[in-house]
């Protein structure tokens, strides 16, 4: 199941998933400042979106989006702060469902969606995954813009 989080109190329940994501890409989790992280998540929830994938009530994936105002035009772009699916959730199509929910969220608002990928392992597979859903590669990001 994919759902959007709208309650700030629920953001704390995402911390274990975020720490797992950080460890997966080699971030020293001892340096993470939980209050700053919760502030960033709250910013995503207020100006973008916090989307979770769940199976049987367990969180297996997370996509957080925040709004970025362009300095060269009036456009607002959505960018991901976190896009992570647990190893156990990777065969459940949670990554696809999170990406499609984020894409639809951007499309409904007429905004560009930029997805940044931290891990460069298995790059060909990632390129295929994102292009299959209408994204084009731009540097280290995948961009979706309707029209």
With a cut of 80, say whether residue 75 has pLDDT above it. no
Q: How many domains does the chain have?
A: 1
Question: Tell me, what CATH number does 108's domain have?
Answer: 3.40.630.30
pLDDT at res. 118 = 74
What tens digit of pLDDT does each residue of 117-134 get? 876 677 888 899 999 999
Residue 25 structural domain: 2-144
Q: Which residue has the higher pLDDT, 75 or 98?
A: 98
- pLDDT, averaged across the chain: 88
Give the whole-angstrom CA distance, residue 82 versus residue 37: 11
Q: Which residues are registered as beta bridge partners of 66?
A: 79
pLDDT at res. 131 = 94
pLDDT at res. 134 = 93
pLDDT at res. 124 = 87
Neighbours of 142 (CB within 10 A): 23
Out of 95-99, 108-112, 143-147, the most confident range is: 95-99
pLDDT at res. 11 = 87
Determine the longest span between alpha carbons in the chain, in angstroms.
45
CA distances from 75 to 52, 101, 109, 113 (A): 26, 21, 11, 11
pLDDT at res. 57 = 87
């Amino acid at each position: 199941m994919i759902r959007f989080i709208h309650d700030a109190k629920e953001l704390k329940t995402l911390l274990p998933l975020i720490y797992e994501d950080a460890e997966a890409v080699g971030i020293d989790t001892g340096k993470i400042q939980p209050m700053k992280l919760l502030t960033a998540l709250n910013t995503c929830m207020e100006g973008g979106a916090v989307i979770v994938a769940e199976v049987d009530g367990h969180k297996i994936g997370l996509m957080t989006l925040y709004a970025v105002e362009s300095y060269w035009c009036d456009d607002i772009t959505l960018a991901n702060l976190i896009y992570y699916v647990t190893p156990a959730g990777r065969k459940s199509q949670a990554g696809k469902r999170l990406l499609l929910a984020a894409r639809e969220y951007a499309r409904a608002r007429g905004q560009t969606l930029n997805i940044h990928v931290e891990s460069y392992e298995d790059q060909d597979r990632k390129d295929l995954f994102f292009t299959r859903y209408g994204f084009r590669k731009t540097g280290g990001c995948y961009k979706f813009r309707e029209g």
